[in-house]
Amino acid sequence: MRILVLGAGALGGYYGSRLLEAGADLAFLVRARRQEQLRRNGLVVHCPVFGTTQRAVTALQAQEVQPGWDLVLLTCKAYDLQDAIAAIRPAIGPETAILPVLNGIAHVARLREAFGEAAVLGGVARIAATLTPEGEVRNLGQWRTLTVGELNGRITPRVTDFVALAAKGGIQAEAAPDIRGALWAKLVMLGTLAGATVLMRGTVGQILRAPGGPGFLRSLLERNAAIAAHHGAPLAPKVLETIQDIFADPASKLTASMLRDLEGGGRIESDAILGELLEGARRAGIDPALHELIMLHARTYEQRRAEEAGP
């Protein structure tokens, strides 16, 4: 399978490296700085499951990309989506599938508008990974899940072929008939994790060990689940239970990638995750006070970041 991975950051680098391990014919579509880094050092990935790998990879810039790909794995941040759409356009032929693994929901509609409904798959990544300042990819835990599905619910060969290849590379991959439900479930989980850990600047465990923390987490999760239900994606009781368990472990060291980005002084996906849920709460007639506070906190960080960067 010929795969083009847009981005060689945390997710692109990690999943791309596992797909290469499985024998995929794969190239990365990157920008100039990352291309230079990859050409100099190769792709370095640290993983508690597979150890450290360093391999030479094909890294192309947008102007070097030709058509002929079976699948484009889209791994940019939400705020880079517009540029990424332009960058992958020359790679997309009539048979090319586009598999985004971004957090959030809105990117799916934007991709379908840009490339047509049939081209776009849904993807949900469960992994806690980061790109270090040295340009190395680090999987911070054991998670390496990828859930993939057609938006119309059919299980097609392009989905099962990709899932089989990913599984061969050690990714915990599965084909999902209800990928829209999986995207919403992820947004409920991540909206709670990012909202809480960014606002409180601590791990799930630290929030739970603080007086008032358990009630805050419970209330945010309940509201997020109600927002999903209002948008036609109620969480199955087992899925909700699994998410509740994540927010009930006082020893948990879990934080959201958004908190890591914020603590590193980077951009955050405030609109795509926190803003989506705030708007969702308003549309659903759910008290938006918690979401407004979380969003204001994120906006204040963004304002401060912009002012410190100067004109």
- Which chain residues interact with ligand KPL by CB under 6 A? 103, 125-128, 190, 193, 256-257
Q: Could you identify the residue written with the tokens 């508690």?
A: 48
Residue 76 contact partner, candidates ligand KPL, ligand NDP, none, CB within 5 to 8 A by sort of partner = ligand NDP
Contacts to ligand NDP from residues 70-89, by CB under 6 A? 75-78, 80, 83-84, 87
Contact string (CB under 6 A) for ligand NDP, positions 114-143, x = contact: -----------x-xxxxx------------
Residue 75 contact partner, candidates ligand NDP, ligand KPL, none, CB within 5 to 8 A by sort of partner = ligand NDP
User: Are 188 and 221 spatial neighbours (Cβ–Cβ below 8 Å)?
Assistant: yes
Residue 84 contact partner, candidates ligand NDP, ligand KPL, none, CB within 5 to 8 A by sort of partner = ligand NDP
Q: Is 204 in the site for ligand NDP (CB under 6 A)?
A: no
Residue 80 contact partner, candidates ligand KPL, ligand NDP, none, CB within 5 to 8 A by sort of partner = ligand NDP
Q: How far is the CB of 296 from ligand KPL (least distance, A)?
A: 21
d(CA 273, CA 224): 11
Q: Of 29, 185, 187, 200, which one interacts with ligand NDP (CB under 6 A)?
A: 29
Which of the ranges 27-35, 166-174, 276-284, 296-304 carries the binding residues for ligand NDP, by CB under 6 A?
27-35
Residue 30 contact partner, candidates ligand NDP, ligand KPL, none, CB within 5 to 8 A by sort of partner = ligand NDP
Half-sphere exposure of 146 (CA within 13 A, CB side): 30
Between 85 and 102, whose beta carbon lies closer to ligand KPL?
Answer: 102
Residue 57 contact partner, candidates ligand KPL, ligand NDP, none, CB within 5 to 8 A by sort of partner = none
What amino acid occupies position 31? R
Q: Is 10 in the site for ligand NDP (CB under 6 A)?
A: yes
Rg value, the chain, Cα = 19
Residue 7 contact partner, candidates ligand NDP, ligand KPL, none, CB within 5 to 8 A by sort of partner = ligand NDP
Between 2 and 126, whose beta carbon lies closer to ligand KPL?
Answer: 126
Residue 290 contact partner, candidates ligand KPL, ligand NDP, none, CB within 5 to 8 A by sort of partner = none
Contact string (CB under 6 A) for ligand NDP, positions 268-287, x = contact: -x------------------
d(CA 75, CA 175): 19
User: Are 61 and 124 spatial neighbours (Cβ–Cβ below 8 Å)?
Assistant: no
Between 81 and 286, whose beta carbon lies closer to ligand NDP?
Answer: 81
Between 32 and 251, whose beta carbon lies closer to ligand NDP?
Answer: 32
**What is the 3 state secondary structure string of the chain?**
CEEEEECCCHHHHHHHHHHHHCCCEEEEECCHHHHHHHHHHCEEEEECCCEEEEECCEEECHHHCCCCCCEEEECCCHHHHHHHHHHHHHHCCCCCEEEECCCCCHHHHHHHHHHCHHHEEEEEEECCEEECCCCCEEECCCCCEEEEEECCCCCCHHHHHHHHHHHHCCCEEEECCCHHHHHHHHHHHHHHHHHHHHHHCCCHHHHHHCCCHHHHHHHHHHHHHHHHHHCCCCCCHHHHHHHHHHCCCCCCCCCCHHHHHHHCCCCCCHHHHHHHHHHHHHHHCCCCHHHHHHHHHHHHHHHHHHHHHCC
Which residues here bind ligand NDP, judged by CB under 6 A?
Answer: 6-12, 29-31, 33-34, 75-78, 80, 83-84, 87, 101-103, 125, 127-131, 257, 269
